[in-house]
Every structure is written in structure tokens, then in C-alpha cells.
Structure 1
Amino acid sequence: MSLTIDPQVFAEDAVSEETRRLNAWILSTIEALPDTWSVSPAVIRDRRARGLGPFPMEPKCERAEVIEIPGPRGPVALRIIRPLAAARGVYLHLHGGGWTLNAADQQDGRLQRIADQAGLAVVSVDYRLAPEHPYPQGPDDCEAAALWLVREARALFGTDALAIGGESAGAHLSVVTLLRLRDRHGLLPFRAANLAAGCYDLALTPSARRFGTARLVLNTRDIEMFVRHFLLHGGDRADTDVSPIHADLRGLPRALFSVGTRDALLDDSLFMAARWSAAGNAADLAVYPGGVHVFQSFPSALAEACLARMDEFLADAMA
């Protein structure tokens, strides 16, 4: 595990022609769509579920199953994709979408890949979404799911080797969940954290503040709006339960931080990876030239390289 960063990855000539073409396509596609914030989050969710947004619509996994567990605010749905052979471990997945959008069934392709490539049972959490269910409801659901998994993993999946992770807001919720289990329950049950393009400082890091208006999946205004929805009923942006970059990070599992250089949340990963390592935890930082926010969602050589590294990281952590 290494935090060594090659400055060359930030250079313009490090960006491949394929990545340049993809970014131009993403920008033109999103600019042709209505302003994201001209409609309600519920409408945006419906459009994305029907494949009308910028993201490719992934086919649903035929072997996925959905169960419900008790949560502090009512039932929490979990979407489970098991590997074809005996599970080597269990991956608790928290989806992205600014704490406001998306659902547990909208990344089946990537989660089935983890099940098949890393040999893990994947449990994706359909946590409550803002603004209808603002902070702390989403994090509460994730905490409940993690505690359930700690109790039930051995009986249901034949293993108690656990990993956690997600992308964007899901990476944020993964770190918040790790901290809650450590601080509220005295538990350190996860061996690894797979953290892609997380938002760890809701007061906004420099890259988030300075990104501007370019509609490359996520821009400064989008982040501000997502935070506003998430903290609709209040919440201190410096609170470690809201912005985990301010937390004492000691005792947390090995982590892989993945981010692209054209991501508004670039600094969040750079800063959090450094703090993770400084706290004595194993950390690896993978920076991808020209990658936009959650570029892993768009088929490309860059996405394949990132996904393959994640698969390898998770498989190795469960060994």
C-alpha cells in the first residue's frame, strides 16, 4: 500500500485521447439535458431509474435477492448478489448519488463483477434519501445494516470476513459507518474499505469550491445542493459524523482511495488518504488522469483499469 503520487498524472498530456473524447461526450450529453435542479429530486430519481440521465443503464442481475431488516426508522432493504462459488467474504456496498439520488439496484453490473471477480457476497443498502429523509436518517440506516451484517454474516454467508465501500456519497457513508461502529459500539469488524471519489468535507475542499460550473457529472453547485438537501434539518459541517475528514481515524481498516484528476472531489480523496495514513492505517491512493466524477460508470480503458484494481484490492483483503 502506498500514497506515492506521480505528479505526471495531473499533466494534460497524461490524459488519453479516449478519456478526452469520453469527457467531451459526457459534457455535451449533460448540457443537452434540463438543469438538474429545475425539478425535484424525486423526478431526477425516476429519470435515472428509466435510463434517461447521463449514466449508462446497467442490466439487473438475475440472481439478486432483496431482504428487509429492522432499522431505527423502519425497515431497510438490502439487495444481495452472491458469488457463484462459496463466498470468500462479504462486501457491504453503499451507493452514491449525493445522499439524494440513486438506489441499490442501479449498479448491479459492477456489484455482480465484484461478486464474480473477487468472490464476495455483495450486500447493497437502500438507505433513506434526502431531502425527504435528511441527516441523520441515511447514515442511521447504513449503521443498522452494518450491525446486522456483523451479527449475521457467518450464518448467512459462511464467512465473517467483511469489507465496506461505495462511491461518492457512498464512500462518505462508508467512513461514517466505520466511525460509528468504532465509537458507538466498540467494533472494528471490517478488513477493508473501497472508497471511490468520496465527499469527506461537507464544507467543501478547495477542488470542490474551485471546480466551477462545468457539467462534468458533478460541479460546485451540485455539491452545494446535495449538501443542502442532506443537511435540510441542520447539522454542523465540522461535526465528524457529517464531515469525517475531521475525525480521529485511528484503528480503521486498510483502504483504497480511487479518484480522477477531473473530479470536483479530487482533494477530498487526496486529503483523506493522507489523514488515513497519518493515523497509522494502511492506505493506497489511485489517481486516474482525466477521470471525471465516478468515471467508473462509463465504459473505457480508464474505468476498466480502476475496476480491476478495486477487484484485486478486495480479493487480496479477503485472502
Structure 2
Amino acid sequence: MLDTEAKSFLDAVKAAGRPDVSTLTPPDARQLYKETRGAVTPEPPEVSELDNIAAPGPHGPIPLRYYRPAGVDKREPIPVLVFYHGGGWVIGDLDTHDVVCRSLANEARCAVVSVDYRMGPEHKFPAAVDDAYAAAHWVAGEAKSLRIDADRLAVGGDSAGGNLAAVVALMARGKRKDGDATAPKIGYQLLIYPATDMHMDTQSHKSFAKDHLLTRDSMDWFQLQYLNGTADRDDWRASPLRAKSLAGLPPAYVLVAGHDPLRDEGEAYAVALKQAGVPVVFREFPGQIHGFVVLGKVIPQATQAIAEMGTALKLAFGQG
């Protein structure tokens, strides 16, 4: 059964006549996404530090936002989560996911570095991947100035951001195997309803193609903006589920929503990780919809999900 609050939210979106993203231009879609955040986003919790910084990247400087949780010694090296926001590789930014990053920092007692990676259609695949990896690499290398422990570094994100986090973990593993000692030592993956296969041919894609926040039309539109063509769907940097091997990756927490087109591919990725010998915590919120974690003002289970993810991160960081 669809969660009561989730149903009420979907009904309100429909009643408001909110257009499907597929009917908009990318700039208009970004603006609509930002404008609608206030009605669904909780008040931002206090953190001890928040700084807008930047990392050098292959396509130019990458804007970042650094969070340090409330109640920690400002000089203490603490664990860090490098976070990639969702939005189909087209919409979303540091502001749209500010509350989630603040909340995760406080719940996990870790620093969070949110990454404003380049997006389509202005910057096609793999620009977002390049930025995502460069940001994690830079964070690990700047451990002293950021007052973080580079040996306790996690990557995470929601939806498209979960896709990028999974891909960054794969890239870091490959570079370390190739002898790159500077590659970040990623210790954990926090994958929130991640997109893992661009072919979108699972049963959940068929079951929830319409009348949900994320529709089939919108997903086709996102791919059109992000990818260079259909051939990119087979590239593991776009579809991490299609990587030759997932062995040797860091442990993962994989969260899926039961009424989400991405549910089956998220579960498939968790299963594939387990089969490759990777420790996995798989968590399904059966009554929830795609994107619910950032809808805490109208969907209370978002708060529960963030608390659970914070606990998982603390355990991964040895702070449980």
C-alpha cells in the first residue's frame, strides 16, 4: 500500500497541475525544482560549520559545500561523507539538498561535502562522473585542511547522485588496482534509490511509469539531456550494474522505495554486490515514492530514513 502521506503529496502535486519535467526546458525544470522545495523541505537543522568552497576539476572548479556537525570539536579529524545530489543529472544543486546534508552530518557525526557537479545538457556524460570522482579525490587529499579522516571516507547520494556515488566507488577501486596510491580510500557507499541501469527495463519501471513523481517520460527526458546517445547506456560509468565485476568494492547501504520506478534496479545492485562478496545492508521503504528522503516536511518517514542512514554511517565509521 502507498504510504498515506506519500499519496496525499502525489494528490497535491496533481491538483496543483505541476507539469512533468519532460515538458520543460532544462533551465525551467531547474527553476521549478528549486521553487517547489520550500513547501516540502523541513527547516534546516543547525550545524557547527557551513562553508562554500571549491575543488579543482577536469572541466574547471567544482563548487562544494562543507558541513561540520553540531557539537564536535572544530579541530578534531572526523569521518566524511562526499554527497552527490539527485535530479536526473540535469536539475538539483547544493541548495536543494542542503537540509539532507545538514541532517546526515548531525545524525552520522561526520563532515559532509556536497558536490555541485556539472550537468546535462550543457555538460554531457561523462562530465558529471569526472567531477564526482575529482571531488572525492580532492577531499581525500585535503584531509588536513578540511579536518577530516581520509581513512574514514564514504560516498553517497540519492537517485542520480546514488548512481554517481556507486560509479566513484568503482573508479577508485580500479585506480587503486592500477597502482594509483592517490586514489581515495572509499570505505562505504550510501546509495539512496540509486539509478544503476540506464536500460530501464525492469518491472518496477513498467508498474510506476505514470502517476508518480518520477515518470517514464521524465526519465527518458533526463537521459536525453545527460547521455550522448543510447550507446552510453552500456557504459558502466552510466550503468554501474553493468560493470564486469563488483568484487572488492566497499560495504554499502542501499535504500529503495517500494513505489519507485528505480526500485528493482536498486535491489538488483544490492543483490549483485552481495553476490560479489560485498557486505550490504538493503533497506526498502515499501510504501514510499521516489525522492521521499528530501520531502521531510510532508512525508515523516524521511526523518526515519535519514536517522537510519546516520546510524549505518556511524557503524561504518566505527562510531556506533
How far apart are 1:219 and its partner, in Å? 1.6
Identity %: 30
- Of 29, 32, 39, which aligns to 1:47? 32
More divergent stretch after superposition (23-32 vs 271-280): 23-32
Q: Shift of the alpha carbon at 1:233?
A: 5.6
- Between 1:236-245 and 1:133-142, the stretch displaced more is 236-245
For residue 227 of structure 1, report the CA deviation from its aligned partner: 1.3
Residue 29 (structure 1) aligns with: 13
Cα distance in 2 for residues equivalent to 1:52 and 1:82:
23
Measure, in 1, the Cα distance between the counterparts of 2:46 and 2:235. 38
Residue type at the aligned position of 1:253: P
**TM-score, scaled relative to structure 2:** 0.88
Query: How far has the Cα of 1:116 moved from its partner?
Result: 1.5
Q: Where does the alignment leave 5 or more consecutive residues of structure 2 unmatched?
A: 178-182
Flag the 1:212–1:311 CA change in 2: closer, same or farther, 3 A. Answer: closer
Report the 3-state secondary structure (helix = DSSP H, G, I; strand = E; otherwise coil) of the residue aligned with 1:166: strand
SS at match of 1:90: strand
What is the DSSP-based 3-state SS (H/G/I as helix, E as strand, rest coil) of the residue aligned with 1:145? Answer: helix
Whether 2:278 is the aligned partner of 1:281: answer: yes
Query: Residue 8 of structure 1 corresponds to which residue in structure 2?
Result: none
User: Which of 64, 70, 74 is 2:60 aligned to?
Assistant: 74
Report the CA distance between 1:60 and its aligned residue.
Answer: 8.8
Which residue number in structure 1 is paired with residue 304 of structure 2? 305
Which residue is 1:83 aligned to?
Answer: 69
Q: TM-score, normalised on structure 1?
A: 0.88
* Inter-partner Cα distance in structure 2 for 1:281 and 1:30: 41
Unpaired runs of 5+ residues, structure 1, are 1-11
What amino acid is aligned across from residue 249 of structure 2 in structure 1?
L
Compute the RMSD of aligned alpha carbons: 2.2
Describe the superposition over 1:79-119 as per-residue Cα deviations: whole angstroms up to 9, x where unpaired. 11112314530100000000000002222222111222211
Q: Is 1:183 the counterpart of 2:174 in the alignment?
A: yes
The structure 2 residue matched to 1:236, chosen from 232, 244, 248, is: 232
Report the CA distance between 1:185 and its aligned residue.
4.5
- Aligned residue for 1:256? 253
- 1:196 maps to 2:196: no
Deviations 1:255-276 (A, max 9, x none): 1111111011010111000000
What is the SS of the residue equivalent to 2:142? helix
Indicate the SS of the match to 1:150: helix
- Structure 1 residue 215, shift from structure 2 partner: 3.2
Q: 1:215 to 1:154 in 2, by over 3 A?
A: farther
Deviation track 1:107-165 (CA, whole Å, cap 9, x = no partner) reads 22221112222111100000001111110111110011011112112442241210110
The one-letter code of the counterpart of 1:50 is E
Instruction: List per-residue Cα deviations over 1:280-301 (Å, max 9, x = no partner).
Output: 1100110112110021122334
Cα distance 1:270–1:114, how it changes in 2: closer, same or farther (>3 A)? same
Task: Give the corresponding residue for 1:38.
Answer: 23
- Once structures 1 and 2 are overlaid, which stretch shifts more, 184-193 or 283-292? 184-193
Determine helix, strand or coil for the equivalent of 1:93: strand
Residue 34 of structure 2 aligns to which amino acid in structure 1? A
Determine which of 127, 133, 142 is the counterpart of 2:132: 142
